[in-house]
Amino acid sequence: MASLSSTFSDMLANPTSQLSLATIGGVIFLLAWFLMFFTELSALKKAGTGFYQFFQFAYSCFFKPHTGDNTGNQQDALESFYKSQANIYDATRTRLLQGREDMLALVAAQVKHRRETGQIPNKPIWVDIGGGTGWNIEQMGQQIDVPNFFHAVYLVDLSTSLCEIARKRFERLGWKNIHVICEDARTFRLADYEAGVEDDKRDFSIGRAAYEEDTRDSVGADVLTMSYSLSMIPEFHPAIDSVANLLAPNGIVGVVDFYVQNKIEFAGRNYTGGSIDRHCMWISRVFWRTWFELDRVNLEGARRDYIEYKFGTIISTNRRCHLMGFRIPYYIFVGCTRTTINPMRQLATVDAEVTESPFIKALDIHAQNLTPRRARRSSSAERRSKAYESAVVNLSASLPLPAAYYQNNKTRVYYDDTLQKHRQFNDEYIYAFTWEDSRMDSRLLKITSEDVILAITSAGDNILSYATERPKRIHAVDLNPAQNHLLELKVAAFRGLSYEDTWKLFGEGKHEDFHNLLLNKLSPHLSSHAFDYWLHVGPSTFSPRGNGLYYTGGSRHAIRLVAWLGSMLGVRNDMRRLCSVETLAEQREIWTKRVRRVLLSQLLAYFVVGSERFLWKALGVPGEQRAMIEEDFKLQLSGKTDPASVDEKSGTGEPGNVGATKSGQAIWNYGVQTLDPVANETLLSEDNHYYLVCLLGHYTPRCHPTYLQPKSHTKLSTPGALDNLRIHTDELSEVFAHMQPSSLTIAVLMDSMDWFTPSGPEAPAQCKAVNRAMKLGGRVLIRSSGLNPWYMKTFEECGFSPKRVAARVPPGTCTDRVNMYASTWICTKVVDLEGEGKGEKAS
């Protein structure tokens, strides 16, 4: 020590050292003076407070032992953890406990919807389990007028320190209907605090199943929330049981908490409402579970599993808390009681609407046995939807029903999102807008209020156009879940948004506040799968800083290629001018002199557009459809411009049979026959939104789809206007197979028949399935890339009379505003092939 002191004295005696120390001191003085002079004292105080809170939080969470008085009492353990940080709890949890605002917004949206629809007739009661400092309740004030909307709010927490902070909070706010209860969640019951309840009705059995009516609390909570509290309750089974007993029959429960889980644990469950990002990597499971256990926070997946078992799932989503470079898994769950519905009654009703079964629908009528019924086909009783079958399995196993049954609207039919046939699309839709001309559909089909329509979803534009005609029912079918998510979003917009917001989303393709719109306005009208999808991809899809909705999906590749070529070759401005000119003469001049040479470049057709990968990924054209284009071109070269007149069938060969050069020429020629007539005969700026959106990336107030017209919004936003819509996520053949015989009057198959191979059994099987589901005289609308599709013969053999109602003959004909298909057909059912009336012809 003496030698160290001597060395230090020698250093101070050195003039060089003295100068260095003086310099350091001067720099420190100048920095301090600069900070004091140019920084407000309040800012310095705030920074100091922030540092103090951070260090206090770090000490309390990571270094301070939480043994309490060693009695093992949960309240003592909580106090040991929270007492030293109660006053800084809210300030230090903002970034860590993410998702609380979103959960509260979702719960608020559901409760407001149920109040508006009369499901919650009186002022609701809210119980916040593990509410701590009352932050949740004050935050709910951003969504709802808490003092006036709720009859009473109960904050239940076992930590006395946090409860004291909560009491001070509500005294400051002046909210008189808030009650802070320091009590174990397992023993709390509303009947002890709500007046007017008889003593003999107060008792309930802790730990009993929530769906047994005699175990419920006699006073039900309309809203129950648990925000990062479930993971801190050691005995979570009785706690969840007791919470379930508190929930009123039409009540809403909301939970947000950390979790870790392996996909093996939840695989095979059909009631979880989706599984995007639910699986956690093994290192994440091990690290976060071990780390949080140091503070007695338990992240095992069993807690979430039991929540999903005890309640019906309305919304479920998985997120990641981004903190200091880490990604901590958390989930948000919004649910309801499992006995909200009469299971068998609702199963019968939903199944009748999905399968168009008058027999099943009769089961839903109480007087069914008193009313004589007409003799039914022998097959009627065996026709069940997949939704019905999955629900019956769940009921027999005492499991909750699939999430689709607990939605406010039963628009989306249950499907198993884990199947490979759905997952092959990688959570991406191909089409962001529909390529079939809705005006032509309307002219050909002449839809009435008695029609039952089945149509391919695509982007849903035509489905909504059909809905403006008010048919009896519309069944939208698509194997790609994301296509149906897009239609669901559009339907939810009509149910929950103003015309201005709807236009921003689907007219401009952008919205500056999509996230809040999704939580507060759209979520009550979306299925859990669709909500989860749009929560993940929606903010980037509709971001004002991005390109917008129409630059997403597989079709974005074609749109981006057009934009890139236009910019590279100097015709981008000409493309924009095409979308604003007033006359066809101006449009034709711009097209012929400037734009055509770019978009109809033979080099581009041979090496890019004509490639099998681009045709499929960007345009959704499979090899079988490409073969139809090539064979028609081969016939055209031989002088046979119309195969229908020479008994030549389109698409009987394999793609590429005409040779590489001829194949490239065929694709180029098909493009010429598509685009030249459109540019010469339809005015893009006024009457052809199909190509306008490809050039601009958005619609305009002058030119847009039918469903985006103000009068369409007025019609479709009327309560109940879209209740006749059912969205199926499955193959067409599967949906047809589950339909009751002779239930459909119209089927719109777009170009789906082009996808079948002539030698395969799929086309005959589908034609027979269509025949069984269609009424005599029912019509099937088909578009094809071939002038005389090979499968029209199959339709004839299966009881239909095909008629070509439009064709690009002679070359250069414009069949409709899209003109993408070589021919359009109406196949009318004239013979019933099976069941009652077999062999009977239409009169």
Statement to judge: residues 519 and 570 lie in one domain: no
User: Is residue 39 predicted with pLDDT exceeding 80?
Assistant: no
Statement to judge: residues 392 and 488 lie in one domain: no
Amino acid in the structure at residue 230: L
Statement to judge: residues 331 and 361 lie in one domain: no
Residues 33, 34, 38, 43, Cα dihedral to 10°: -80
- Is 822 within the bounds of a domain? yes
Statement to judge: residues 728 and 658 lie in one domain: no
Statement to judge: residues 449 and 563 lie in one domain: no
- Is 10 within the bounds of a domain? no
Distance CA 597, CA 591 (A): 9
Q: Which of 171 and 323 is assigned the larger pLDDT?
A: 171
Mean pLDDT, the chain, integer = 83
Distance CA 349, CA 729 (A): 19
CATH code assigned at 327: 3.40.50.150
User: Is residue 228 predicted with pLDDT exceeding 70?
Assistant: yes
CA–CA distance from 386 to each of 453, 475, 734, 737, 771 (Å)? Answer: 20, 15, 9, 11, 21
Q: Which of 497 and 812 is assigned the larger pLDDT?
A: 497
pLDDT band at 193 (very low <50, low <70, confident <90, very high): confident
Statement to judge: residues 461 and 586 lie in one domain: no
- Is 5 within the bounds of a domain? no
pLDDT band at 159 (very low <50, low <70, confident <90, very high): confident
Domain final position from 668, 696, 724: 696
CA 204 and chain centroid, separation:
39
pLDDT band at 324 (very low <50, low <70, confident <90, very high): confident
Report how many domains make up the chain: 4
Residue 81: which of 155, 160, 181 has the closest Cα? 160
Sign of CA dihedral 582, 583, 588, 589: negative
Statement to judge: residues 581 and 612 lie in one domain: yes
Statement to judge: residues 154 and 138 lie in one domain: yes
Statement to judge: residues 294 and 243 lie in one domain: yes
- Is 501 within the bounds of a domain? yes
* Range 601-628 average pLDDT: 63
- First-to-last C-alpha distance (Å) of the chain: 116
State which residues form the domain around 613.
556-696
Lowest mean pLDDT among 10-19, 58-67, 251-260: 58-67
Asked if residue 789 has a cis previous peptide bond (ω within 30° of 0), the answer is no
- Is 146 within the bounds of a domain? yes
Q: Would strands 800-807 and 774-784 be described as parallel, antiparallel, or unpaired?
A: unpaired
Residue 152: which of 121, 105, 193 has the closest Cα? 193
Write the burial class of residue 574 (CB in 10 Å: 0-12 exposed, 13-18 middle, 19+ buried).
Answer: middle
Statement to judge: residues 522 and 596 lie in one domain: no
User: Which of 66-70, 387-391, 716-720 is predicted most confidently?
Assistant: 716-720
User: Which of 66-70, 386-390, 694-698 is predicted most confidently?
Assistant: 694-698
pLDDT of residue 318: 96
- Is 205 within the bounds of a domain? yes
Distance CA 788, CA 750 (A): 15
pLDDT of residue 645: 64
3 state SS of 60: helix
Lowest mean pLDDT among 109-118, 146-155, 400-409: 400-409
Residue 168, C-beta contacts closer than 8 angstroms, at least 6 positions apart: none
Statement to judge: residues 691 and 717 lie in one domain: no
- Is 159 within the bounds of a domain? yes
Statement to judge: residues 810 and 771 lie in one domain: yes
* Range 166-189 average pLDDT: 92
Distance CA 670, CA 664 (A): 10
pLDDT of residue 782: 96
- Is 147 within the bounds of a domain? yes
Distance CA 742, CA 363 (A): 20
pLDDT of residue 429: 93
User: Residue 34 is inside which H or E element, if any?
Assistant: helix 15-38
User: Is residue 372 predicted with pLDDT exceeding 90?
Assistant: no
